Amino acid sequence: MFLALKEIRHEKLRYGLIIGMIVLVSYLVFVLSGLAYGLAQQNTQAISSWRASKVVLNVDANNSLSQSLLTKHDVTKAQLTKHEALIGQAGVVAKAKGKAKLSAQFLGIDRQQLIYQRVKVTSGHKPHNAQQIVVDDSFKENGYHLGERVTLNSTDTTYQIVGFTHNAKLSVAPVIYGTLGAWRTLSHVTGAFQAGGIVSDRATFKPQVAGLQTLTLAQFINKLPGYSAQNTTFTFMIGFLMIIAMVVIAVFLYILTMQKLPNYAVLRAQGIPAKVLVTTTISQALILVVSGLAIGAALTAATVLALPVGVPMSFNLSLLIGVTGGILLTGIVGALIPVKVILNVDPVSVMGG
């Protein structure tokens, strides 16, 4: 530690630049993974808030809730308990006088059932009748307010916003919670169809009804339009970014160690044990990488605060630990690749003729 710190203090510019490089690389990885994760979440946030484990859809719906229709007969045979809830999804365009139009996902739910109970309203209240709706916070960011009357698609009916809910996004669009009746109107289906699908929080729920299929929540989410494609893209992007970042850091620390060999030769000639040189090298790599990561994380936090509300950015602990751990590890590996060279450094090389 003594040698490691003394050297950093004496060579401020060189070490400052290396820390700066690690800061930039880790900042890039943090921000991009935060953005990717944030976007992934916008596909599924609403679904997560239901805390469901199974979704039942029509077999012909190709795993898509918005394409699925269940008849009264289907629903009766499925034998719902208080652990199940009916739901219908319709893509809509919301508009109000003087406000920007918003593309949204309308979710029709039943006021007696699970989803209605689990939706958390951050301001206002839950709907009491078919003309009332609860909408995602992003409506508020677009100037919509409590009590505002909005029309959906080209229907004449107006709906009143009575509540806002936080983080309710489905397929990257804000969610509007209303009734199943309104859903029927918006999807142009008759009263013969009771809902689009059934959501259950029982892992064992699996109605044996011809024409229905039961998906786990993970299956359902992976089949969301564009979701897997998007996630695969981001996973590869972040994966490649991480690999490149790690290689760059490892190479820098390798070069750094190699440049110190003449000094190590002097120390070896003085009888300083090789162990001291190796610990010096490792602790120096740790100091550089840890301070780089810490500053990178602080910059990321500052960026999160400075970003406009609409930019999705969120972090996942295991992702952060993975990124941090990966960078830390490669830093040490990079510094240690030349350890054999350090151990064999020839003190005679500095003795001169």
Among 24, 215, 241, 274, binds other proteins (CB under 8 A): 274
Contacting range for other proteins; rule: CB under 8 A; set: 5-13, 55-63, 133-141, 223-231: 5-13
Q: What stretches of 8-47 adopt beta strand conformation (E)?
A: none
Among 98, 147, 271, 308, binds other proteins (CB under 8 A): 271
Among 270, 305, 308, 318, binds other proteins (CB under 8 A): 270
Q: What are the start-end ranges of the H helices in the chain?
A: 2-10, 12-50, 72-78, 114-118, 138-141, 180-187, 217-222, 227-259, 261-269, 274-306, 317-336, 339-343
> Distance between CA atoms of 87 and 114, rounded to whole angstroms?
10
> Distance between CA atoms of 127 and 328, rounded to whole angstroms?
51
> Distance between CA atoms of 48 and 228, rounded to whole angstroms?
17
Contacting range for other proteins; rule: CB under 8 A; set: 49-57, 183-191, 271-279, 291-299: 271-279
- Chain centroid to Cα 291, Å, comes to 25
Q: Is 65 in the site for other proteins (CB under 8 A)?
A: no
Quote the least distance from Cβ 5 to other proteins, whole Å.
10
Give, for 165, the enclosing helix (H) or strand (E). strand 158-165
Location of structure tokens 């004496």: 10
Indicate the residue among 8 and 75 with the shorter CB distance to other proteins.
Answer: 8
Among 102, 263, 284, 319, binds other proteins (CB under 8 A): 263
Q: Is 2 in the site for other proteins (CB under 8 A)?
A: yes
Question: Which residues between 156 and 195 bind other proteins (CB under 8 A)?
Answer: none
Indicate the residue among 7 and 223 with the shorter CB distance to other proteins.
Answer: 7
Quote the least distance from Cβ 352 to other proteins, whole Å.
4
Q: Is 269 in the site for other proteins (CB under 8 A)?
A: yes
Query: What is the tally of helices (H) and strands (E) in the chain?
Result: 12, 13
Task: Give the CA radius of gyration of the chain.
Answer: 29
Indicate the residue among 318 and 344 with the shorter CB distance to other proteins.
Answer: 344
Q: Measured between alpha carbons, how far is residue 248 from residues 29, 296, 306 in Å?
A: 13, 16, 28
Q: Is 273 in the site for other proteins (CB under 8 A)?
A: yes
Quote the least distance from Cβ 278 to other proteins, whole Å.
13
**126, 109 contact by CB (below 8 A):** no
- CB count, 10 Å around CB of 285? 26
Nearest to 196 by CA among 182, 180, 208: 180
Q: Is 13 in the site for other proteins (CB under 8 A)?
A: no
Question: Which residues between 332 and 351 bind other proteins (CB under 8 A)?
Answer: 347-348, 350-351
Among 7, 225, 303, 319, binds other proteins (CB under 8 A): 7
Residues contributing to the site for other proteins (CB under 8 A): 2-3, 6-7, 9-11, 263, 266-274, 276, 347-348, 350-353
